[in-house]
Chains A and B, each alone.
Chain A
Amino acid sequence: MKNRNDAVMGYLYILPSFILICVFAIIPIFMNVYYSFTQFNVIQSAQWIGLENYSRMLKDPYIVASLKNTFVFTLITVPLQSILALLLAAVLAGQFRNKMGEAIKSAMFIPVIASAVLVGTLWSIFLEPNGLMNTILSFFHIPTINWLGGKTSSLLSVSMATVWKNVGYFLVIYYAGIMDIPKELYEASQVDGASKIQQFFHITVPSLSSVTYLIVTLGTIWSFQIFDMVFTMTNGGPGMSTVTLVLTIYNAAFKSFNMGYAASIALVMFVIVIVLQALQRKFLGEGRDDK
């Protein structure tokens, strides 16, 4: 009796979430695969066109540009934000386990709670040719830079703003990781006469390897999904210099109403993200202790 009740209750308790997950995650994945083989503008029903969307993708300069930009953007942001977060966390955990350190940590977390839209809006204003950034740089006699107007500088500017927003987040994760390293390791090496810098490279960095993998792969997945920031800062411009995968999906689907084509790009992005996550699991499989 009890077992049957248990089973009925179990199903009833998972029912609401099960419906939502089916409707908003599982069914859409299959629909997306189907749409990717069709021409579809929402108003008329989808027309099967086979692999046409995929062959079109190979010739589309926007796809090439978005793939390239997304990769470059990832290669800039991920190492920068990870290294910066690690160094700051190490310094904070090493010598600033006090009120001052806490205050600095809290301040650096503020950009994390702000929306990417807000951050993008603020930075796009600051980086205008006669904006705050150039005003500050002129104090140091650095000539005016057209941050968001140049082909190279625009992608760099979006990357910079992203790093600025993310550092506080990864800092907190690294900080928690450093707190978990046994104190004895440091004490023993101090007896052996190791300097702080030696300790950093021989104890802190190796002990944090699983945290680092987490931060690198998480950062990579985030970078692949970049949208809000480019949408508010450059909207892909100038030219195609800051178009990204998600921006191209959005434009194809909701500007050109070419849902089928957008679905095929989304599927390619999904495959890339799955590969990245498989790598994440491979590297984190062991050293990671789930909370």
Chain B
Amino acid sequence: MKLPVLNDEKTESAGGCSSSGCGSSASAMDHLPDTIRDKVANHPCFSEQAHHYFARMHVAVAPACNIQCNYCNRKYDCSNESRPGVVSEVLSPAQAVKKVKAVAAAIPQMSVLGIAGPGDPLANPQRTFETFRRLSEEAPDIKLCVSTNGLNLPACAEEISKHNIDHVTITINCVDPEIGARIYPWIFWENRRIRGVEAARILIEQQQKGLEMLIERGVLVKVNSVMIPGINDEHLKEVSRIVKEKGAFLHNVMPIIAEAEHGTYFGLTGQREPTAAELEALQDACAGDMNMMRHCRQCRADAVGLLGEDRGEEFTLDKIDAMEVDYEAAMVQRAEVQQQLLAQLNSQRNKLQNQVQEQPIRILPPSRPVKMAVATKGGGIINQHFGHATEFLVYEASQKGVRFIGHRQVDKPYCEGGSSCGDDGETVLQSIVRQLEDCEVLLCSKVGYEPWSALEEAGIQPDGEHAMEPIEEAVQAVYQQMLARGLAEKPADQQQSLSQLQTA
């Protein structure tokens, strides 16, 4: 069975995309069969809109790994690091089940439980499947998903399809063993450590076979790829095409994390990370083939909460032991809260669609797309002070509508730059402004005088007038204003003359 793939172009020609984000948004999902749409509608990792409302958690029950990646070092497990492969404590299946139920009682927006490591879940099949089996009995409303490097996937595909597992994510960085040999130094396969091109060849073969087996069994598959400039960046376009042909429904291109202090091969050998612009360009290039997932935050294997936040510290084992939880009541409350959230999502989508349809048809001069940065704490609302934001969401408005294109992490929020937002804050502010330099507007709930001037000087218009409004509506409204004021016209050298257009 081949699953249909979300496709930007198709969506646009059908007119659905104009109303909201093209990422993996509700409108892009309209073209999926009901069964798949229902599966992704409340999944924060798969739906750009859902990620503002629904929470997820990972339980770290899978410490062992069967391959080595050059962007990973298993020696560094530190609570200050937020990246895949890193956790603070490994749990037994029984501890994991207890934790999931406690978190889902405390955070009723929690819809998804994933096992993603810190090693490879399918290299720890007993722990992984015992956790899934118990959860599907004890918390049947929670969606289950699993991430894997794919080496052991063919051996586990049948078992995965028997459990109530909604989605599988396979990390596929290449389909060419020569490229793979530069990413994976070794694998453990059939009782031997195998190195080099041969190792990559086996890994690629198993990944592709596993992908095919899951699709045959009707399991939803997402593919993750790590973008490594100079190694697989161009190649990922081919990966995108192939995994789409085989039936993966989403492709998520993520930037490599390669800091020297993480002690990874790539970190220590000076492999550079892609810039935000390079990442977005590759995501755009792959999007022609397949929908992309630009809101991914590359979370830890024990992350808890909304994407972009991590509340893991609130739920350590000793804290959970001290909690008194009524699991039955929690499940009822969860169902109510999540139903309300879904209704809210739907009404917001309809509202945006209606807005677009009601707009009178006017002939405007050709316009250009405009990027805007948004500060939000979640809920799909502009509700964060500029100085408190640890990341900004970037949207692109054009006459086709509003689409989410990425998020920009900042090293430190502006107000933590120094005790008085003074001398130290200056450089923090400069670095934030640099991260947002391709944006023309910054939407937030409030912004202080000093950052206001710095943003304006850099050509970014700060705007606090849309505080507490839904993000996409506000971005749309600001863009309409810019159009009306002639601020978003195409530069003259790219414009056909207006008279030509009107006679056409």
User: Do A and B come together as binding partners?
Assistant: no
User: What residues of chain B have their CB less than 8 Å away from a CB belonging to chain A?
Assistant: none
Which residues of A are in contact with B by a Cβ distance under 8 Å?
none
